[in-house]
Amino acid sequence: MSSLFRYSRWASQFKKSPPIFTLFSTATNESQPNRPSPPPIRVGLIDSVGRAVFATRRIGTGELIHTAKPIVAHSSLSSLHKVCYFCLRKLPNYKTHSEAHKNLAFCSEHCKDQSKNFYEIENKADWSRFTEYCRLQGLKYPLLVKRFACQVISGVVSADSLDILQPATLTSEMVSLMEKEFCLLRSTFQETDIKGEHMAFLTKEWYTGVLARMRINSFRIELAGGSYEDFLSSAAASVEAEVAIGNAVYMLPSFYNHDCDPNAHILWVENADARIKALRDIETGEELRICYIDASMNHEARQTVLYKGFGFLCNCPRCLSND
């Protein structure tokens, strides 16, 4: 099946839905008053961009709209032994690369416990060839797919749990370039004692489908330094900076569309838990948008980066006015 066909089949699922639908209930639960209130947002569908996030009440500047835990996270290769395997929190006394031994470290018993099952799966294999290949090719998504595959094998997530996310359209050239990393991933698992039936999902089609979703929906995690006020002044992270501690995929943040003059912002303070905050006052019913790129670039450069990185031509008001 061609990637384009797969994408149009994915997109047509949503055309069958009413124009605007609510995926996440925002009603307060009066029978459980101690439960935190649901976030003041709903996910709806609009013609120009597909799914989108809307405010269900007025949201003030600087308000924390919601937090989100990753579905899957992986440290960047340069941070591999410097951050917690599970939450990517910086470790106080990390080992240097030459000292580092095979096992990765945790920041707490809680993180160790949360990732116990898939950490054991990952630790059964020798990932040195796979990791080296990713390092040489400058690849980050295969590392996320590897971690996700370990989660699937361990049974903590199902193999189709990312299917709801929008996939990138992959050219046949991109798909053939993935052959080597896919083969390395599969052969690394095959060298372990993991039973074949637990790896039945690990086909090339599954790999490319997951990677296509990660290309569009994964976030590069940079911890916010300084005060939140300092951070508000910088609406977007630089795509090229070397300060990322890792990458992660989330569910709800994946429904936020891009704007070159956003009203919301995603940030990370101490680990991979994301916080979505309002950059300015947002009215009830207004769409919430974040900025995927460095918004200080000029119009042409922004369009190029968005098209190459995410495959879309930006239709935000700033771009439509050629600013």
Ligand X SMILES: C[S@@+](CC[C@H](N)C(=O)[O-])C[C@H]1O[C@@H](n2cnc3c(N)ncnc32)[C@H](O)[C@@H]1O
Q: Which residues bind ligand X (CB under 6 A)?
A: 49-52, 166, 216-217, 254-255, 257-259, 310-312, 314-316
Comparing CB distances to ligand X, the nearer of 166 and 188 is 166
Judged by CB, which is closer to ligand X: 198, or 318? 318
Q: In the complex, what is the shortest distance from the CB of residue 191 to ligand X, in angstroms, rounded to a whole number?
A: 35
Q: How far is the CB of 22 from ligand X (least distance, A)?
A: 14
Minimum CB distance to ligand X, residue 257 (Å): 3
In terms of Cα–Cα distance, which of 120, 94, 97 is closest to 105? Answer: 94
Measure CA of the first residue to CA of the last residue in the chain; give whole Å: 39
**HSE, side-chain direction, 13 A CA sphere, residue 10:** 20
Residue number, nearest CB to ligand X: 50
Closer residue to ligand X in complex, CB, 207/256: 256
Q: How far is the CB of 313 from ligand X (least distance, A)?
A: 6
Nearer to ligand X, 83 or 314 (CB): 314
Q: Please, what's the b/e burial string for 80-102 (b: 16 or more CB within 10 A of its CB; e: otherwise)?
A: bbbbbbbbbbebeebeeeeeeee
Instruction: Spell out the alpha helix ranges (H) of 128-203.
Output: 128-137, 141-154, 172-177, 179-190
Phi, psi of 109, deg, nearest 5: -65, -35
Q: Which residue's CB is nearer to ligand X, number 51 or number 74? A: 51
Of 23 and 232, the one with the shorter C-beta distance to ligand X is 23
Contact 157, 299 (CB under 8 A): no
Write out the H or E segment, with its range, that includes residue 229: helix 228-232
User: In the complex, what is the shortest distance from the CB of residue 95 to ligand X, in angstroms, rounded to a whole number?
Assistant: 36
CB of 124 to ligand X, least distance (A): 33
Helices 179-190 & 204-217 angle (0-180, nearest 10) = 120
